[in-house]
Amino acid sequence: MIRSTAGILLVLIFLTVVSQAQTVGTGEVADRWKMALALHPTATQAFFFDSTVTAIPPEIKRLTSLMQVRFIHSPITDLPEEFYSLPLKYVEFYGTTQLDMSEVLLKLKRCRNLIQVTFSELDSFVVPATIGELTQLQSLAIWNTRVVTLPETIGNLKRLENLSLAATGIDSLPITVRNLTSLKMVSLEYSGQQDIPVNFLEIPNLTDILLDNNPQMDMDHVLSQLLVYKMEVVSMRDCNLIRLPEAISSMKTLKNLVMDSNHLTSLPAFITELPEIEWLWVKNNRLEYLPFDIGSLTKLKYLEVSSNNLTELPLSLNPLKDQLVNIIAGNNMFSTTEKDRIRKIFSKVYLEL
């Protein structure tokens, strides 16, 4: 079965057609490839998953616009040399794989346009040292995959900007992360750990951290360690917070603060003393009111306070009516009169009440 979206998405899903057959001759598989390549010569994406197709033909080189490839529980055992001549930007591995990952990563060095590699849902995965050959990488995502640590060669990725280690349980990083001078964002979501990994603070220029879904983590301790950085984004969704960690008050460069789905009943006064805040997310908490001087956040553009117990929005927000872009405040306890007032004042703002 072959399908496309707007003529640019190539999805090779042999599961439905091929797996239902008792036997599939190599000629039939080759014919399917010919048809796919003929129908979608300008395809930009190719997904390979759950099939009896164990090889990609050299003819894949005809897909000269192919930028993203995703392998999902694919039994493909080898990739042709022509694969590495494609203009790939994103290569993703989901679930079990039969590929020699060390060799694949080494050869992906030839893909000069490659900026992101993703590993997900791989059992007992050891990140090959050859990952360090991909010096062009800007993003590396390893998530929902149990790993112990990263290889020392990770320090070779001087262009790396984003590193996701979500749901890996990783508790230590190699000292060579000190060489990742371009690294700005790290995700430690679902870490299962009480603290950040050993050597984490060797990362030299961190600005963004995602700590979502870590109810066991000591956020006061973690955030106090991060004060060595000029943080711009801190996300703590589903972290079982009953109050905002005091360390936040010292993060004067913070632009985006996310605290959705916790147990906050109020926001501390210091929240209004964060001069760079543009995004404030406090969805699904227990807030009964917002700080009366929240309007002191003169750069605020996006306010998300839905699913709380608010009865009004502070009048101090009124002067921000021309700069606010979104106010998402549905599922609160606003009266009809308060809703009408909000709609009148913030008539140019996208509202959800």
- Range with the lowest mean pLDDT among 40-44, 94-98, 217-221? 40-44
The answer to whether residues 199 and 186 touch, using CB atoms and an 8 Å cutoff, is no
Task: Check residue 32 and give its pLDDT.
Answer: 63
Task: Check residue 211 and give its pLDDT.
Answer: 98
Residue 51 pLDDT level (bands cut at 50, 70, 90): low
Over residues 182-188, the mean pLDDT reads: 98
Task: Check residue 22 and give its pLDDT.
Answer: 34
225: which 2 tokens?
């360690």
What pLDDT digit, counting tens, does each position of 325-334 carry? 999 999 999 9
Is the confidence at residue 2, as pLDDT, over 80? no
DSSP state string for 177-214: GGG-TT--EEE-TT---SSPPBTGGG-SS--EEE--S-
Residue 28 pLDDT level (bands cut at 50, 70, 90): low
Dist CA 232 CA 207 (whole Å): 5
Task: Check residue 148 and give its pLDDT.
Answer: 81
Q: Say how many C-beta atoms besides its own lie within 10 A of residue 350's C-beta.
A: 11
Task: Give the C-alpha distances (Å, rounded to integers) separating 300 from 62, 166, 202, 288, 332.
Answer: 49, 29, 32, 20, 21
Over residues 299-309, the mean pLDDT reads: 98
Q: Considering the entire predicted model, what is its pTM?
A: 0.90
For domain 243-353, give the fold: 3.80.10
Name, of 52-56, 98-102, 172-176, the range with top average pLDDT.
172-176
The answer to whether residues 258 and 236 touch, using CB atoms and an 8 Å cutoff, is yes
Dist CA 237 CA 240 (whole Å): 8
Over residues 136-160, the mean pLDDT reads: 95
Over residues 313-324, the mean pLDDT reads: 96
Residue 50 pLDDT level (bands cut at 50, 70, 90): low
What pLDDT digit, counting tens, does each position of 66-89 carry? 999 998 888 888 899 999 999 999
- 148-153 CB contacts, 8 Å cutoff, 24+ apart: 148/172, 149/173, 149/174, 150/174, 150/177, 151/127, 152/176, 153/129
Is the confidence at residue 123, as pLDDT, over 80? no
CA neighbours closer than 13 Å in the CB half-sphere of residue 168? 27
The answer to whether residues 227 and 250 touch, using CB atoms and an 8 Å cutoff, is yes
Is the confidence at residue 4, as pLDDT, over 60? no
- Sorted by sequence, the CB contacts under 8 Å of residue 315 that are 6+ apart come out as 295
Dist CA 212 CA 261 (whole Å): 10
Which single residue is written with the structure tokens 């079965």? 1
> Residue type at 149?
T
∠ at Cα 146 (229, 191), nearest 5°?
40
Is the confidence at residue 53, as pLDDT, over 60? yes
- The alpha carbon of 195 is separated from its chain's Cα centroid by a whole number of angstroms, namely 20
Chain mean pLDDT for the chain = 89
Task: Check residue 24 and give its pLDDT.
Answer: 36
Over residues 224-234, the mean pLDDT reads: 98
Task: Check residue 146 and give its pLDDT.
Answer: 85
Task: Check residue 225 and give its pLDDT.
Answer: 98
Q: What ranges do the domains of the chain cover? A: 243-353
Task: Check residue 30 and give its pLDDT.
Answer: 60
What pLDDT digit, counting tens, does each position of 251-273 carry? 999 999 999 999 999 999 999 99
Is the confidence at residue 37, as pLDDT, over 80? no
Is the confidence at residue 92, as pLDDT, over 70? yes
Is the confidence at residue 11, as pLDDT, over 50? no
